[in-house]
Amino acid sequence: MQWRLTKSESSSRNPWTTRFAPSPTGFLHRGHVASALCVFGIARALDAEVLLRIEDHDRGRARKAFEDAIDTDLAWLGLVAARRARQSDHPERYAAALDALDASRLLYGCDCSRKRLAQGLQGELASELRYDGQCRERGLDWRDPTVGVRVRLEAELVSFDDAILGPQTQSPATECGDPLLRDRHGNFTYQLCVVVDDHLERVGLVVRGADLTASTGRQILLARLLGRTEPPAFAHHPLLVDLEGKKLGKRFFSAAVAQERAAGVAPEKILGEVLHHLGLAATAAPLSTDAALAAVAAARRS
C-alpha cells in the first residue's frame, strides 16, 4: 500500500484533522486495527489531529460495553486520539440536517422494506441495496416517524482522487439510488451521520477501508447538498489479505482484540501481523506502535 496527497491539498487543508470512526456494535478486530494504523500513521506524516468518533447512530445495536472496549483496546495498542466525539451526544445536528434538506424540498418518506429491495439479489449484491425510487412520487410525509426518509439525488458523475486508490468516478444515483437518511425505526443512518459529522467536526481527510469506497460518491453529493463547499480528501486502504498464500481463515481476521488481550497476546504481535497483511512489512514480526506508525507514514509517495 502507498498513499499520496498532492501539494495543493496539503496546503489548502493545513492543519489536517482526520478520524477513526468505529461503530460500538461489536469488539474491534484486526480489520479495525488496520484502519486505525492507517489513520494514525498518515496523521503522523501530515502532522494531523486524530479524532476518535464513536459511531453509535444505530441505537438498537450499539452497546456501551463495546464502546468501553474500543477505548481500552486503542490505549493498549498505543493509538490514542487527541479528541473524542460520540454521535448519540448530539442527535439534534442530524435532525437539523434533515430540516435543511427539507427546506430545499429534497426529502421524501419511504415505507419500502429491505426485504422488497433485496428481492432477486443474492450475497454481495444484497448487502449493497440499490433503491429503485418507488416512493419518490408517493408524497409520504417524511416527518411521520414510522416511515423512512430518503434524499433525492440528481443523476450525475462524481469524481475524486483517492490518496491510495487513485482517480475514481462514481454515479451514486444509478449505483445506489436515493440514500436512506433515517430508517423506519427512527435511527439516523450511517450515510447521514458520517457526512454531517465530517463537516461539523472539520474532518479534512477520511482514511478508512476499501469496503467503503462505494459510499464516497454519495457522501460527497450529500455533503454538497448540506453546504459543504470542499469535500474531505479520501484514502481507502486495502482490506487485509493473506500474503503468504497460507489460509489464515476467518478467525485470524475476526478475532476480537479484547479477547487476544485477555489471552495474554502482546499488542506488538497484533500490530506486526496487521502491518504485514496490509503489505507494509516484509515479515509478520512483532512491531512497536511507533515502528508500525512510522511504516505507514513512510509509505507516502510524492
Return residues touching ligand GLU (CB under 6 A): 21-23, 55, 194, 208, 212
Q: Which is nearer to ligand GLU, 147 or 195 (CB)?
A: 195
Q: How far is the CB of 151 from ligand GLU (least distance, A)?
A: 18
Q: How far is the CB of 55 from ligand GLU (least distance, A)?
A: 4
Q: How far is the CB of 31 from ligand GLU (least distance, A)?
A: 9
Q: How far is the CB of 253 from ligand GLU (least distance, A)?
A: 14
Q: Which is nearer to ligand GLU, 213 or 286 (CB)?
A: 213
Q: Which is nearer to ligand GLU, 27 or 108 (CB)?
A: 27
Q: Which is nearer to ligand GLU, 239 or 265 (CB)?
A: 239
Residue 264 region by backbone torsions, left for phi larger than 0, else alpha for psi between -120 and 50, else beta: left
Q: How far is the CB of 239 from ligand GLU (least distance, A)?
A: 12
Q: Which is nearer to ligand GLU, 142 or 199 (CB)?
A: 199
DSSP readout, the chain? --B---HHHHHHTPSPEEEE---SSS---HHHHHHHHHHHHHHHHHT-EEEEEE----TTT--HHHHHHHHHHHHHHT---SEEEEGGG-HHHHHHHHHHHHHTT-EEEE---HHHHHTT--HHHHHSPPP--TTTTS---TTSTTSEEEE---S--EEEEETTTEEEEE-HHHHT-SPEEE-TTSPBPHHHHHHHHHHHTT--EEEEEGGGGGGHHHHHHHHHHTT-SSPPEEEEEPPP--TTS---HHHHHH--HHHHHHTT--HHHHHHHHHHHTT-SSS-----HHHHHHHHHHTB--
Is omega for the bond preceding 267 within 30 degrees of 0, making it cis?
no
Q: Which is nearer to ligand GLU, 55 or 260 (CB)?
A: 55
Q: Which is nearer to ligand GLU, 36 or 106 (CB)?
A: 36
Q: How far is the CB of 184 from ligand GLU (least distance, A)?
A: 21
Number of C-beta neighbours around residue 237 at 10 A: 26
Q: How far is the CB of 127 from ligand GLU (least distance, A)?
A: 13
